[in-house]
Amino acid sequence: MGSNSEPVSVSFRRTGGIVAGAPLEIEVAQSDLDLEGAEALAEVLSGEGPARFTALPERGTGADEYQYDLAIRRGDEVVALQFAESRLPPELGPLVEVLEQRALEGPTGHC
């Protein structure tokens, strides 16, 4: 996925859940993430990169699950991922957790 020197950003959106309300959303540049977030994103970008997750089944097993949408951009390349809470790959868990927490903290994290 692109050159390592190109800027990286992530768009995160969480919908659904038991009490479906407004979507939880954030877009953040890799350079604006704290150490934990930057490490989580670097882990996703390493090796085969985020494209390895595109074959995941989108639908989960429960109607009350969260649905996650991630778009990871590096330069002109974008990898868009959609998955249900029960289908969250362990490798994406730390990144989703960081982005979810950042989005819950409010609009100060938006690019």
Looking at residue 59, its pLDDT comes to 60
Which residue spans within 1-111 are E strands per DSSP? Answer: 8-16, 24-29, 66-74, 77-84
Q: Output 108 or 71, whichever has higher pLDDT.
A: 71
Interval 14-28: pLDDT, tens: 998 877 677 899 999
